[in-house]
Amino acid sequence: MQSTFEWDGAAPPISFTYDGQRSARLLPSWEREEAVEEADGGTVRRCRYTDPRTRLCVTAHIRTFRDLPAVDWVLEVANQGAEDSSIIEGILPLDVVWQRPSGDNVVLHYANGSKCVLDDFLPITAQLRAGQNVTLSPNGGRASDGVLPFMNLQWSTGGCIIAVGWSGQWSTAFERAEETLHLRSGMERTRLRLHPGEQIRTPRILLIPWEGNDPLHGNNLLRRLLLAHYSRRINGEITTPPIAHMTMSTFHRTGFTDEVGELDALSRAAAVGVETFWVDACWYGSGGKWYEEVGTWSIRQDSFPRGLRPISDAAHKAGMKFVLWVEPERVRKGTVIERDHPEFLLYSEKNSDNALFNLGLPEARAYMTELLAGLIADAGVDIYRQDFNMQPFPYWQAADVPDRVGMAEIRHIEGLYAMWDELSRRYPRIAIDNCASGGRRIDLETTARAFPLWRSDFSDVGGPEHGQRLQIGDQLQTAGLSRWVPLHSAAVWNFTPYAFRSAMSSGVVLYCDIRESSFPATEAARAIAELKRLRPYFLGDFHPLLPLTTADDDWCAYQFDRPHAGDGFAVCLRRHESSTESMDLALHGIDVDADYEVGMTEAFDDPPRRRMRGAELLHMPITIPDRPGSLLLQYRKV
């Protein structure tokens, strides 16, 4: 596999068509420059190709890492000439053919994205046989709307992780012939000319080769790489999703909240160990429905006459952080932005109720950046939560002209990254929560800047009305998304060990009304304490212990392991229709010749440990008498 990453000076694994000619023919005759410099954790190599006639310049920024066998790159395309460029189209930052023997079984592992359904993030496996093609792309312009932009190819001796860093409409195609495997990845559509001095970027591509016969080894290399080199850090520490609480479920039910109610909920949340208090889509406008007032970002005076600062001050006094929800990219008719700045908006006949705030317009982005920076400063925000409840692709299509196809999308996505980077520059201690109708914009670039505190709207739309299927959805989200992305969290509605363990990951959101007399404060505090004990392990390797299904009568079991420390935990969940009381499970990462201290519990407690040989953990009998029921197993190498 190492040869995959050896760049031929005349033909890097990219492709495009310029003025009707393919890049494979053009690049050998273009001027070529190369520079290498040290970067954090590795090196960056810049390969630049310039057309001597038109001065179109294509630069590949290639990053390698010292500690992991991975490479990522992004292309920049610039017109350094004095006139408009010819048409450049079909820009693919990844276009490569790998030799695979005809008898080699090639398997593509990927996953659903988020669609607000039970099987969000469910793993999918496809056999790639000769003559078979698979193309993956999201729905409507948000990166993980329907499918995740993370994939794992497996063959007889190993495989390769492919990750796409593009928060818009990407596309990745796999074509298998008798002796080859052809990969192409980039934006779904590009056909444009560049004006003099104009520059664009492409999606980022990450490849991680792995060896062996377990595809989860590749997934865990991806998790390690994201944590080591992509995840945002504050004061040198990885920013992890918190244990949070918000009152939005009550606002949906009652249509009302105010400072008094928020402060009451805040004090109760602090008492059970919550780390962050969260004000969602209930703080702005003039009293209309929350989704009809996006675009009027003024604080509701009837509910919050003193603004939001008293709430964040109370959170900070209680040792908590403060989250604030905003949806800057969607603008409803009749709102302040729609009335005062229609020039900042894009429209589509497919959705006349909503306009798209055009982050690709520099003056619009500057306006929104200042608006958000003011909210962050005035309200004392620690975690800025950005939502996006619309599909932008039709708006970009409507904005493009025939010789600039793809430009509206490129500029918007570039603008999104620039805005987030500027907010992080101004407020180095702020974290960003990436939401898009749940987890519909998770990709390599957003993962480097933010985490999803709300990975699926399945936990919200319908909520407890899903019954026991709500917990199955939670399990699929935890075990499905954790294969690819280490940092995420979701809602929890109740605090039985089964329900809480189904939803918990590196963070969790208490979504029930904490102010009701029936709220189980004692159990909630014990559940939160358990998650705080387990949180370090969520940054370790992830291993599914059973196939992940949607069936009511199945079990779900998975493990988080820290190889460097020799410890971890496993969660076993027996679903409500399961007739199977016991299972034999084999833990991963175990030294068969070592001794381990092992504790198992069905309740929220820290159980006594007993000493076991590693060989015993490879055939571990697990019994859960209740259905539904759960068991937590913790282990530590002696």
Q: Which tokens in the block code for residue 526?
A: 């014990």
Residue for token digits 């990436």? 434
Contact partners, residue 445, CB within 8 Å, separation at least 6? 165, 166, 167, 204, 417
Kindly state the average pLDDT of the residues 302-314: 97
Compute φ and ψ for 339, nearest 5 degrees.
-80, -45
Assess whether the previous peptide bond of 628 is cis (omega < 30° from 0).
Answer: yes
CB 373 within 8 A of CB 423: yes
pLDDT, the chain, mean: 95
- Percent over 70 (pLDDT), the chain: 98
Task: Pick the closest to residue 222 from 132, 111, 127 (CA basis).
Answer: 111
Query: Does the pLDDT value for residue 575 go beyond 60?
Result: yes
CB 489 within 8 A of CB 470: no
Confidence of residue 1 (pLDDT cuts 50, 70, 90): very low
More confident residue, 449 or 5: 449
- Tell me: the pLDDT tens digits for 61-113? 999 999 999 999 999 999 999 999 999 999 999 999 999 888 889 999 999 99
Which pLDDT belongs to residue 288? 85
Q: Which tokens in the block code for residue 132?
A: 């078979």
Confidence of residue 376 (pLDDT cuts 50, 70, 90): very high
Q: Which tokens in the block code for residue 430?
A: 């702020």
Confidence of residue 340 (pLDDT cuts 50, 70, 90): very high
Which pLDDT belongs to residue 11? 58
Three-state SS string over 416-477 comes to: HHHHHHHHHHHCCCCEEEECECEECCCCHHHHCCCECCCCEHHHCCCHHHHCCHHHHHHHHH
Rg from Cα positions in the chain:
25
Kindly state the average pLDDT of the residues 166-177: 97
> In whole angstroms, how far apart are CA 511 and each of 121, 247, 250, 356, 470?
21, 7, 9, 29, 13
Which pLDDT belongs to residue 3? 37
CB 387 within 8 A of CB 380: no
Kindly state the average pLDDT of the residues 396-407: 98
Contact partners, residue 376, CB within 8 Å, separation at least 6? 324, 384, 423, 427, 430
Task: Pick the closest to residue 197 from 371, 57, 36 (CA basis).
Answer: 57
DSSP 3: G
Kindly state the average pLDDT of the residues 134-158: 97
- Tell me: the pLDDT tens digits for 528-566? 999 999 999 999 999 999 999 999 999 999 999 999 999
CA–CA separation, 490 and 509 (whole Å):
6
Which pLDDT belongs to residue 464? 80
DSSP 11: B
Quote the crossing angle between the two packed helices 362-379 and 309-317, to the nearest 10°.
50
Contacts 24+ apart (CB under 8 A), 97-101: 97/180, 97/181, 97/182, 97/183, 98/4, 98/180, 98/181, 98/182, 98/183, 99/179, 99/180, 99/181, 100/155, 100/176, 100/179, 100/180, 100/181, 101/179
CA–CA separation, 635 and 638 (whole Å):
9
Cβ-in-10-Å burial (0-12, 13-18, 19+) of 531 comes to buried
Residue for token digits 């936990």? 459
CA–CA separation, 103 and 146 (whole Å):
32
* Euclidean distance between the first and the last CA atom of the chain, given in angstroms as a whole number: 37
Pairing of strands 541-544, 555-562: antiparallel
Which pLDDT belongs to residue 10? 46
CA–CA separation, 452 and 490 (whole Å):
8
Query: Does the pLDDT value for residue 8 go beyond 80?
Result: no
- Tell me: the pLDDT tens digits for 223-260? 999 999 999 999 999 999 999 999 998 888 888 899 99
Residue for token digits 């009302």? 256
- pTM score: 0.96
